[in-house]
Amino acid sequence: MKTINLTTQRQAVYDIVRTAEDHPTAADVMNRLVERGHSFAYGTVYNSLRYLTDKDLIRELKLGETASRYDARTDDHQHIVCEVCGRVDEVMTAIPESWMTQVAEETGYEVAGAHIVVEGVCAECKSKRKK
């Protein structure tokens, strides 16, 4: 179950996501593949992204936009989106366990985890706005 078969296309997709400074969408990945001289079928990119996600090599992010984004950091963390420029950054501060426990009590659910999208204004947009 832990066998990972990295074909040429999967490797190339993984490389794009791994070396990305941002959190690319499937379309972003497509474009960057072309920039690097590849030309894979649209479906292959989606298949690869799903495969890599299934194998926990990357993570799929659903941040409330129309398109999913992908992230090579697979450790537990959250995200923050800039309302002005759309920039996405990582949030490493963990949600307090006590909050999770309280939610479990309130709802009667067995809580497995939480996806958080924080919204705000990034440092750059903040300083631009002051002017």
- Which 90-129 residues touch DNA, going by CB under 7 A? none
Nearer to DNA, 66 or 93 (CB): 66
Nearer to DNA, 52 or 122 (CB): 52
* Closest C-alpha to 72, from 129, 20, 128: 20
The contacts of residue 116 (CB under 8 Å, 6+ apart) are: 78, 79, 91, 95
Give the bridge partners for 59, in sequence order: 71
Q: How far is the CB of 86 from DNA (least distance, A)?
A: 12
Q: Is 59 in the site for DNA (CB under 7 A)?
A: no
What are the C-alpha distances in Å from 21 to residues 18, 37, 87, 88, 90? 8, 20, 11, 10, 11
Q: How far is the CB of 16 from its own copies (least distance, A)?
A: 23
- Which 14-53 residues touch DNA, going by CB under 7 A? 25-27, 39-44, 46-48, 50-51
Q: How far is the CB of 29 from DNA (least distance, A)?
A: 9
